[in-house]
């Protein structure tokens, strides 16, 4: 028992150290610690988890297997969450249609692979482009005219677009689920844990896209315009930023990421159907909030946390509790730190 | 809020109309003119009416975005179902039990989550709604995903409509009372509401619990109508349905919610001929309505018989030719250039017939000059506040005798408004103590400080912008309406008397501030100077002992400023107030205030009479900079 408590404490300390903002600035200023801090923390946490599993007498291979599954599911959530977080950061809208854009991406990828017989990479590009065009269209037609109306109106419109996409999807693709052909067959074994090639791909593509997005937002001109817009739309306009275009670019990029998630989910979880976007959409938004809305690494972190915890709940408790864990975590985070794990808190000016 | 001038007559109309409607419905069902299928559709419409009006109380009236309403409906439905199946309790008991359990669920969920605002609150309620469903899915007693069968069948349309009517009337009465005004104030501006003495947390949780309770009632009706329920009846999509009905009808409008819930339940029946495209057309319709009428069909307006009458007259004048009684339009008279109308108002605002002394001698009328030896009225010791590492105000001291007219001046960013924020509890001080009439108030929440008798105006005007001028002031009477929540539901004769008294007192205050002409206009449409005066009227309505004015003359022309000065002095005497004011207009401060405190960079640099302040080298330095050598 004491070993369980000790290892839990170790893990908790690691998480706390990773999150403590004040301490981190001190670390970054110290050159010796700057590059070893996070790797050391991760190592320490891994040791703690290993110790915990030994203490609990758990089947380690099974546990790590679940973690691998969780990370690939989490990648999907993370990719969708990135689009949510970008759109929210810029126009403060929970774009409920985002989950359905992901569905359209999955179908675009499906047709690219089956009908056009394209290999993975061109299919991925097609899925991303198709989603991107759809995202921009939705923004232009349904959201742009409402930019100055109450937020709830915009929210309802987004819900309407979401329902519309689902129902048009039912008409266009029929409600019978489609099955992706197997694209990546190989599977590797690492310390007894089987790692499918498809799961490596999904994780790698997600990480690459996130790094690309991080670069785009932080080091390019349109990215800077986006950040300016998310701070103050009117001030950005006065600085000569074409607000409409930046918002369109945001939707384009965010939707492209959802499209990528659509095809990636197809190669690991091959069944796709027109209503597939609802739950992942909601959970991805939850992921974005957990990580800190508007923060790109936060969306990634949140997505992974939800993916992994869902898999653990399914493995150790019951799959029927799976849908509750995301929302349970959400409420916990909102009550403890409403601005999200990586978010900054703001004070209202009176 | 549009309110019928004669409330009693208005509600009699409603009762008569609903009674006739019910009789007709029953007659139709009894004579089989309306077959069981359509009777069923009407029952469903009734259930949605309850759901939509109850969500309106939370979302539309109180302005707290909740999108998990189906969860509370589920709580009520399962309560009724389990009682019915296991104990065979009568329908009425089940309805009441559903009300109670859903209210408790609303309380338990509302208490922690209502600290959140806007989208975060929306997502949290969505999360709770889903969690309720998953819990039901996993509990043994609710038989998981199989659901519960064999609930007693109660499909009497009459019973359903009675419950619907009762629910709508109760919610209507809550909204059209002091409680409703408090809820609307929270929607408009939570901070301002708090300084009007409204316990915003309590009212938000209360609205949430009541709204949830009625969702539970709707759930119970649903269970008894379907006789079979399963967790899949209460998904997120159900919450969305309710939200869509609400927004289409117009957030904040009860009649809008009723009409919209009713027609949206019936709409699919009429769309049957395009059966398979129904589910495509419905969301399309939704998006189109939102694009062309973002405020919903009714906005925040209510249909009442006055409005129906006006519409009828309009139609008559348009098509009938005879313009017998054209709807009266309030003529927008230009506001008097002086802005104050001091002479006109004074005669009517004095019930006792005492002519106010307008000659401007401070302290000459109602208030006896404060005894210098008596314990100070307001005493502030060592007040400091830090934001992170920044000391916004440090070691602020002040001691005001009763009836004082004190000025607080200093360059921009000196911390003057921060002092007000600490005095009113909006920003609790990091250190120090505030004693008001000997009582420590520095750890009290803003609404308690307000009830102790401290009122304020805001530098960046915080009126309830979408309410009328009159309703702004009536809202501020919150602590002094003289009746409770129960009375607003039961409406004994004294309720009407007290409400009328609130209205007449509010009108009196408007008259004093020269806003009588504007009483039916929305606060947002007033010019700047009048908005500032309305803030003063609103502050006075809380019946303060200490009034804090934050730059009352900002944006006024010299003439307006001069009459404002007279007014402030007169108000102080008439209402026996102590006034502390922040102002940048030095001519006003110097002529009006008896003593002045000067702040710079959060530090008190001087306190004294206007003449002393004018001569003090440190003050001159703070304002003009050091003289070059």
Structure tokens at B216: 């539970």
Higher local confidence (pLDDT), A55 or A179: A179
Distance CA B382, CA B397 (A): 6
Query: How far is the first Cα of chain A from the last one, in angstroms, to the nearest whole number?
Result: 51
Instruction: List the alpha helices (DSSP H) in chain A.
Output: 2-19, 21-29, 31-34, 37-56, 60-91, 98-114, 120-138, 151-173, 197-219, 221-231, 233-238, 243-268, 278-291, 296-316, 322-336
B247 near A CB under 8 A: yes
For residue B123, give the nearest of A168, A318, A330 by CB distance: A330
Shortest Cα distance, chain A CAs vs residue B492, angstroms: 37
Q: Are residues A249 and A282 in the same domain?
A: yes
Provide the residue count of chain A. Answer: 350
Whether the per-residue pLDDT at B625 is higher than 80: the answer is: no
Do B280 and A328 lie within an 8 Å CB cutoff? no
For residue A150, give the nearest of B144, B294, B458 by CB distance: B294
B390 near A CB under 8 A: no
Whole-number mean pLDDT of chain B? 82
Structure tokens at A130: 């198709």
Whether the per-residue pLDDT at B32 is higher than 90: the answer is: no
Residue A201 lies in a domain: yes
CATH class of B360-624: alpha beta
Distance CA A166, CA A163 (A): 5
Taking phi over 0 as left and psi of -120 to 50 as alpha, with beta for the rest, B544 belongs to: beta
Nearest CA in chain A to B239: A159
For A77-136, what is each residue's pLDDT tens digit?
Answer: 999 999 999 998 888 888 889 999 999 999 999 999 888 888 889 999 999 999 999 999
Among candidate residues A18, A39, A58, the one where a domain is terminated: A58
Work out the average pLDDT over B472-497: 86
For A275-285, what is each residue's pLDDT tens digit?
Answer: 888 889 989 99
Predicted local distance difference test score (pLDDT) of residue A26: 61
A148 near B CB under 8 A: no
For residue A142, give the nearest of B123, B135, B287 by CB distance: B287
Among candidate residues A42, A58, A74, the one where a domain is terminated: A58
Structure tokens at B263: 């027609």
Q: Identify the burial level of B487 via C-beta atoms within 10 angstroms of its C-beta, where 0-12 means exposed, 13-18 middle and 19 or more buried.
A: middle
Predicted local distance difference test score (pLDDT) of residue B241: 86
B243: which chain A residues are within 8 Å (Cβ-Cβ)? 156, 159
A152 near B CB under 8 A: yes
Q: Are residues A121 and A230 in the same domain?
A: yes
Report the greatest alpha carbon distance in chain B: 103
Whether the per-residue pLDDT at B77 is higher than 80: the answer is: yes
Q: Which residues pair with B391 in a beta bridge?
A: B386
For residue B283, give the nearest of A151, A167, A347 by CB distance: A167
Residue matched to tokens 């900054």: A344
Shortest Cα distance, chain B CAs vs residue A163, angstroms: 6
For A163-180, what is each residue's pLDDT tens digit?
Answer: 899 989 988 888 888 888
Whole-number mean pLDDT of chain A? 85
Least confident of A323-332, B7-16, B179-188: B7-16
Distance CA A62, CA A343 (A): 34
Domain with residue A104: its CATH number is: 1.10.3470
Whether the per-residue pLDDT at B1 is higher than 50: the answer is: no
- Look at strands B595-600 and B454-456 and give their pairing: unpaired
Q: Kindly provide the b/e burial profile for residues A163-184, where b requires at least 16 CB atoms within 10 angstroms of the residue's own CB.
A: bbbbbbbbeebeeeebebeebe
Distance CA B477, CA B509 (A): 11
Whether the per-residue pLDDT at A28 is higher than 70: the answer is: no
Higher local confidence (pLDDT), B484 or A204: A204
Cα–Cα separations (whole angstroms), residue B377 to B403, B428, B443, B445, B578: 9, 20, 18, 20, 9
Q: Are residues A26 and A45 in the same domain?
A: yes
Do B458 and A156 lie within an 8 Å CB cutoff? no
Least confident of A197-211, B87-101, B355-369: B355-369
Cα–Cα separations (whole angstroms), residue A214 to A24, A299, B31, B186, B249: 20, 12, 70, 39, 42
- Range with top average pLDDT, B11-15, B485-489, B545-549: B545-549
Instruction: List the alpha helices (DSSP H) in B141-277.
Output: 157-175, 178-188, 190-195, 200-226, 236-249, 254-270
With cut-offs at 50, 70 and 90, classify the pLDDT of residue B369: very low
With cut-offs at 50, 70 and 90, classify the pLDDT of residue A21: low
A92 near B CB under 8 A: yes
Percent share of chain A, pLDDT over 70: 93
Distance of CA B249 to the CA centre of its chain: 20
Predicted local distance difference test score (pLDDT) of residue B355: 39
Higher local confidence (pLDDT), B115 or B416: B416
Do B294 and A327 lie within an 8 Å CB cutoff? no
For residue A168, give the nearest of B113, B251, B280 by CB distance: B280
Whether the per-residue pLDDT at B278 is higher than 80: the answer is: no
Do B119 and A94 lie within an 8 Å CB cutoff? yes
A140 near B CB under 8 A: no
Predicted local distance difference test score (pLDDT) of residue B306: 66
Distance CA B116, CA A340 (A): 13
Whether the per-residue pLDDT at B98 is higher than 90: the answer is: yes
Residue A330 lies in a domain: yes
Shortest Cα distance, chain B CAs vs residue A32, angstroms: 27
Q: Are residues A53 and A135 in the same domain?
A: no
| Other beta carbons less than 10 A from residue B540's beta carbon | 23
B192 near A CB under 8 A: no
Do A149 and B294 lie within an 8 Å CB cutoff? yes
Shortest Cα distance, chain A CAs vs residue B279, angstroms: 6
* Of residues B73, B186, B75, B171, the one with CA closest to residue B121: B186
With cut-offs at 50, 70 and 90, classify the pLDDT of residue B345: very low
Do B138 and A320 lie within an 8 Å CB cutoff? yes
B120: which chain A residues are within 8 Å (Cβ-Cβ)? 289, 334, 338
With cut-offs at 50, 70 and 90, classify the pLDDT of residue A252: very high
For residue A330, give the nearest of B127, B138, B251 by CB distance: B127
User: 3-class DSSP state for residue B263?
Assistant: helix
Count Cβ–Cβ pairs < 8 Å, chain A vs chain B: 128
Predicted local distance difference test score (pLDDT) of residue B338: 40
B421: which chain A residues are within 8 Å (Cβ-Cβ)? 350
For residue A156, give the nearest of B137, B145, B290 by CB distance: B290
For A297-340, what is each residue's pLDDT tens digit?
Answer: 888 889 999 999 998 888 888 888 888 888 888 888 888 887 88
Whether the per-residue pLDDT at B359 is higher than 70: the answer is: no
Distance CA B134, CA B145 (A): 9
Number of domains in chain A: 2
Nearest CA in chain A to B125: A331
Q: Are residues A193 and A269 in the same domain?
A: yes
- Domain span including residue A4: 1-58
Residue A324 lies in a domain: yes
For residue A338, give the nearest of B120, B191, B387 by CB distance: B120
Q: Are residues A196 and A148 in the same domain?
A: yes
B57 near A CB under 8 A: no
Whether the per-residue pLDDT at B326 is higher than 70: the answer is: no
Q: Are residues A180 and A305 in the same domain?
A: yes
Residue A84 lies in a domain: yes
B146 near A CB under 8 A: no
Among candidate residues A36, A58, A80, the one where a domain is terminated: A58
Residue matched to tokens 């990135």: A82
Distance CA B470, CA A284 (A): 46
Predicted local distance difference test score (pLDDT) of residue B19: 75
Contact assessment for residue B529 and residue B437, using Cβ atoms and an 8 Å cutoff: no
Contact assessment for residue B223 and residue B163, using Cβ atoms and an 8 Å cutoff: no
Nearest CA in chain B to A95: B119
For residue B283, give the nearest of A164, A318, A328 by CB distance: A164
With cut-offs at 50, 70 and 90, classify the pLDDT of residue B581: very high
Contact assessment for residue B221 and residue B155, using Cβ atoms and an 8 Å cutoff: no
Distance CA B151, CA B95 (A): 13
Residue A238 lies in a domain: yes
How many separate helices (H) and strands (E) can be counted in chain B?
24, 12
Shortest Cα distance, chain B CAs vs residue A237, angstroms: 24
Distance CA A43, CA B83 (A): 54
With cut-offs at 50, 70 and 90, classify the pLDDT of residue B370: very low
Residues 312-351 of B with CB under 8 A from A: none
Taking phi over 0 as left and psi of -120 to 50 as alpha, with beta for the rest, B60 belongs to: alpha
Do B122 and A94 lie within an 8 Å CB cutoff? yes
Distance CA B497, CA B170 (A): 20
Cα–Cα separations (whole angstroms), residue A329 to A15, A287, A333: 15, 9, 6
Residues 6+ apart with CB under 8 A from B77: B98, B216, B219, B220, B222, B223, B229, B233, B234
B295: which chain A residues are within 8 Å (Cβ-Cβ)? 149-150, 153
Q: Identify the burial level of B259 via C-beta atoms within 10 angstroms of its C-beta, where 0-12 means exposed, 13-18 middle and 19 or more buried.
A: buried
Contact assessment for residue B585 and residue B553, using Cβ atoms and an 8 Å cutoff: yes
Residues 6+ apart with CB under 8 A from A67: A308, A311
Domain with CATH 3.40.50.300 in chain B: 360-624
Nearest CA in chain A to B66: A152
Shortest Cα distance, chain B CAs vs residue A118, angstroms: 32
Work out the average pLDDT over A46-70: 79
Cα–Cα separations (whole angstroms), residue A202 to A120, A263, A302, B528: 12, 9, 17, 58
Distance CA A93, CA A66 (A): 34
Q: Are residues A89 and A12 in the same domain?
A: no
A347: which chain B residues are within 8 Å (Cβ-Cβ)? 387
Shortest Cα distance, chain A CAs vs residue B389, angstroms: 13
For B193-248, what is each residue's pLDDT tens digit?
Answer: 999 999 999 999 999 999 999 999 999 999 988 888 999 889 888 898 898 888 88
For residue A156, give the nearest of B118, B126, B247 by CB distance: B247
Whether the per-residue pLDDT at B324 is higher than 70: the answer is: no
Residues 216-275 of A with CB under 8 A from B: none
Q: Kindly provide the b/e burial profile for residues B18-29, where b requires at least 16 CB atoms within 10 angstroms of the residue's own CB.
A: beeebeebeebb
Nearest CA in chain A to B279: A167
Residues 6+ apart with CB under 8 A from A74: A303, A304, A305, A306, A307, A308
Cα–Cα separations (whole angstroms), residue B611 to B144, B231, B566, B587, B595: 80, 76, 20, 12, 9
B122 near A CB under 8 A: yes
Distance CA B84, CA B71 (A): 20
Instruction: Kindly report the three-state secondary structure assignment for every residue of B281-313.
Output: HHHHHHHHHHHHCCCCCCCCCCCCHHHHHHHHH
Taking phi over 0 as left and psi of -120 to 50 as alpha, with beta for the rest, B144 belongs to: left
A139, A160, A293, A340: best to mutate for the B interface, most B CBs within 10 A: A160
Q: Are residues A29 and A140 in the same domain?
A: no
For A195-210, what is each residue's pLDDT tens digit?
Answer: 888 888 899 999 999 8
* Of residues A194, A247, A255, the one with CA closest to residue A225: A247
| Other beta carbons less than 10 A from residue B229's beta carbon | 24
Do B127 and A153 lie within an 8 Å CB cutoff? no
Higher local confidence (pLDDT), B168 or B346: B168
- Look at strands B546-550 and B454-456 and give their pairing: parallel
Contact assessment for residue B88 and residue B146, using Cβ atoms and an 8 Å cutoff: no
- What ipTM is given for this predicted complex? 0.79
A88: which chain B residues are within 8 Å (Cβ-Cβ)? 119
Predicted local distance difference test score (pLDDT) of residue B254: 84
A331: which chain B residues are within 8 Å (Cβ-Cβ)? 112-113, 124, 127-128, 131
Residues 550-579 of B with CB under 8 A from A: none
Backbone angles phi, psi at B612, to 5 degrees: -65, -40
Q: Are residues A310 and A166 in the same domain?
A: yes
Distance CA A212, CA A122 (A): 18
Residue B382 host element (H or E): strand B378-387
With cut-offs at 50, 70 and 90, classify the pLDDT of residue B414: confident
Distance CA A230, CA A236 (A): 9
User: 3-class DSSP state for residue B500?
Assistant: helix
Q: Are residues A45 and A73 in the same domain?
A: no
Contact assessment for residue B457 and residue B513, using Cβ atoms and an 8 Å cutoff: no
Work out the average pLDDT over A67-78: 89
Do A151 and B119 lie within an 8 Å CB cutoff? yes
| Other beta carbons less than 10 A from residue B63's beta carbon | 22
């Amino acid at each position: 028992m004491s070993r369980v408590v000790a290892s839990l404490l170790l893990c908790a300390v690691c998480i706390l150290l990773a999150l403590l903002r004040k301490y981190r600035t001190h670390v970054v200023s110290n050159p010796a610690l700057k590059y070893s801090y996070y790797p050391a923390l991760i190592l320490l946490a891994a040791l703690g988890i290993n110790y915990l599993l030994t203490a609990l007498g758990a089947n380690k291979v099974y546990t790590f297997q679940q973690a691998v599954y969780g990370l690939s599911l989490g990648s999907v959530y993370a990719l969708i969450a990135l689009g949510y977080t970008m759109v929210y950061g810029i126009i403060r809208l929970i774009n409920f249609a985002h989950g359905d854009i992901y569905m359209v991406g999955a179908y675009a990828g499906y047709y690219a692979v089956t009908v056009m017989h394209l290999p993975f990479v061109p299919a991925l590009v097609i899925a991303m482009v198709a989603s991107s065009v759809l995202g921009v269209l939705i923004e232009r037609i349904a959201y742009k005219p409402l930019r100055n109306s109450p937020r709830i109106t915009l929210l309802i419109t987004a819900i309407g677009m979401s329902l519309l996409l689902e129902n048009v999807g039912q008409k266009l693709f029929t409600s019978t689920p489609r099955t992706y052909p197997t694209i990546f067959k190989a599977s590797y074994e690492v310390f007894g844990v089987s790692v499918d090639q498809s799961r490596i791909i999904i994780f790698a593509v997600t990480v690459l896209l996130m790094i690309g997005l991080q670069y785009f937002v932080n080091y390019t001109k349109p990215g800077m315009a986006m950040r300016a817009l998310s701070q103050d739309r009117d001030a950005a306009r006065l600085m000569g930023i074409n607000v409409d275009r930046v918002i369109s670019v945001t939707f384009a990029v965010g939707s492209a990421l959802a499209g990528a998630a659509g095809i990636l989910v197809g190669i690991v979880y091959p069944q796709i159907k027109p209503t597939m976007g609802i739950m992942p959409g909601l959970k991805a938004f939850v992921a974005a909030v957990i990580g800190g809305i508007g923060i790109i690494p936060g969306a990634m972190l949140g997505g992974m946390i939800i993916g992994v915890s869902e898999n653990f709940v399914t493995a150790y408790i019951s799959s029927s509790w799976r849908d509750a864990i995301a929302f349970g975590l959400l409420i916990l985070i909102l009550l403890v730190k409403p601005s999200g794990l990586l978010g900054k808190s703001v004070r209202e000016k009176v | 809020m549009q309110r019928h001038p004669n409330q009693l007559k208005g509600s009699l109309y409603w009762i008569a109309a609903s009674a006739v409607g019910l009789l007709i419905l029953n007659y139709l069902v009894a004579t089989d003119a309306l077959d069981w299928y359509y009777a069923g559709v009407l029952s469903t419409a009734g259930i949605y009416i309850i759901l939509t009006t109850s969500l309106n109380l939370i979302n539309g009236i109180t302005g707290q975005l909740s999108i998990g309403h189906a969860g509370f409906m589920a709580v009520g439905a399962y309560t009724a179902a389990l009682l019915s199946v296991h104990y065979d309790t009568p329908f009425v008991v089940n309805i009441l039990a559903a009300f109670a359990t859903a209210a408790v669920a609303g309380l338990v969920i509302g208490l922690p989550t209502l600290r959140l605002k806007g989208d975060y609150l929306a997502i949290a309620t969505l999360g709770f709604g889903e969690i309720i469903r998953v819990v039901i899915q996993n509990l043994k007693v609710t038989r998981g995903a199989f659901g519960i069968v064999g609930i007693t069948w109660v499909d009497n349309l009459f019973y359903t409509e009675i419950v619907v009517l009762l629910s709508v009337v109760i919610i209507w009465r809550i909204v059209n009372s002091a409680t409703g005004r408090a809820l609307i104030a929270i929607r408009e501006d939570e901070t301002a509401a708090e300084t009007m003495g409204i316990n915003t947390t309590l009212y938000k949780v209360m609205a949430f619990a009541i709204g949830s309770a009625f969702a539970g009632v709707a759930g119970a009706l649903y269970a008894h109508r379907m006789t079979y329920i399963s967790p899949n009846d209460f998904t997120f999509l159900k919450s969305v349905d309710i939200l869509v009905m609400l927004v289409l009808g117009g957030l904040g409008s009860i009649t809008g919610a009723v009409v919209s819930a009713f027609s949206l339940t019936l709409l699919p029946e009429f769309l049957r001929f395009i059966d398979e495209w129904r589910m495509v057309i419905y969301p399309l319709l939704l998006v189109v309505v939102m694009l062309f009428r973002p405020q919903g069909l009714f906005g925040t307006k209510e249909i009442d018989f006055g409005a129906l009458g006006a519409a009828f007259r309009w139609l008559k004048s348009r098509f009938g030719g005879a313009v017998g009684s054209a709807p009266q339009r309030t003529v927008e008279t230009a506001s008097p250039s002086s802005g104050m109308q001091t002479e006109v108002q004074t005669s009517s605002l004095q019930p006792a017939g005492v002519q106010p002394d307008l000659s401007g001698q401070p302290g000459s009328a109602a208030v006896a000059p404060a005894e210098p030896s008596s314990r100070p009225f307001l005493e502030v010791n060592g007040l400091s506040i830090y934001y992170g590492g920044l000391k916004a105000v440090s070691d602020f001291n002040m001691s005001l005798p009763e009836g004082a007219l004190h000025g607080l001046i200093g360059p921009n960013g000196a911390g003057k408004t921060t002092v007000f924020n600490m005095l009113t509890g909006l920003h609790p001080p990091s250190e120090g103590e505030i004693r008001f009439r000997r009582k420590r108030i520095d750890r009290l929440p803003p609404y308690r400080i307000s009830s102790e008798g401290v009122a304020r105006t805001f530098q960046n005007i915080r009126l309830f912008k979408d309410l009328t001028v009159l309703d702004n002031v009536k809202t501020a009477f919150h602590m002094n309406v003289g009746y409770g929540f129960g009375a607003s539901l039961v409406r004994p004769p004294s309720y009407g008397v007290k409400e009328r008294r609130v209205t007449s007192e509010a009108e009196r205050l408007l008259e004093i501030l020269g806003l009588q002409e504007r009483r039916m206009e929305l606060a947002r449409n007033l010019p700047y100077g009048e908005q500032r005066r309305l803030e003063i009227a609103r502050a006075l309505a809380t019946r303060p002992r200490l009034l804090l004015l934050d730059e009352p003359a900002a944006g006024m022309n010299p003439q307006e400023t001069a009459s404002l000065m007279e007014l402030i002095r007169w108000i102080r005497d008439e209402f026996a107030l102590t006034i502390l004011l922040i102002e940048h207009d030095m001519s006003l401060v110097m002529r009006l205030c008896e003593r002045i405190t000067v702040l710079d960079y959060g530090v008190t640099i001087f306190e004294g009479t206007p003449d002393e302040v004018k001569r003090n080298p440190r003050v001159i330095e703070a304002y003009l900079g050091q003289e070059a050598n």
